[in-house]
Chain A
């Protein structure tokens, strides 16, 4: 593979990731879930989800209320071959659990970033374009480690917590 082809894949994969966060930050969960492969293997906040349907449910439960912004940085893409790539990025989360930005008049008060997360993703080329096939997102820094967020509470109720 020449460098131009490799660079094009790097760009496409990081764009898929950026698009995902833009969709979830605006509660467009159907569009967000469609950026994953049908058999997506997803693990974050101790919650393990398998397949688009389960992922869609998890996103709705986690982010259907409150306001979140994922500030994406440090994205590095390693191209494996013409149809497979791996991506690493960080996202810094700004989060308010009890207010929806679209329903308030003015900005939300905040104290600073809520979490810093290391994210790994495996991406696969599909007829729909580059899609995320596997995602792992361990939290490195957390503002309130003892206060579970909605995804964790929902995951525990649904029996989706895994190691």
Chain B
């Protein structure tokens, strides 16, 4: 594979990851789930989910209320071939489980991020 093609795959994969989080943050959970393959294998916070339907249910439980922002940085995409790539990135989580930003006229007070993770 030439480098131009590899670079295009890297960029496209980064965009998919970022779009996922942006959809989750705005409670567009159907759109978020559509970014997974039908047989997606999802593991986070000790929870294992398999397939879009299970992930959607998990997202509804996790993000239907409250306010969360995952800031994604340091992304590295490793292209395996034309159709497969791996990614790794840092994910810093800001979370207010009891407040919805769209119901407020002012920002939510915070002391800092709730969690930081390396994701794959």
Contact = CB atoms under 8 A, between A and B. Distances in A.
A143 B15 contact: no
Contacts of B19: 76
Contacts of A25: none
Contacts, number: 73
Interface string A43-83: 00000000000000000000000000001011111000000
A96 B21 CA distance: 29
Q: How many interface residues does chain B have, given as a range?
A: 20 to 34
Interface of B is mostly: mixed
Interface in B8-57: 8, 11-12, 15, 18-19, 21-22, 25
11 contacts: A3-B8, A7-B11, A71-B71, A74-B71, A92-B71, A112-B113, A116-B110, A118-B25, A140-B94, A140-B108, A145-B106
Interface of A: 3-4, 7, 10-11, 71, 73-77, 88, 90, 92, 111-113, 115-116, 118, 138-145
Interface of B: 8, 11-12, 15, 18-19, 21-22, 25, 67, 69-73, 92, 94, 96, 101, 106-113
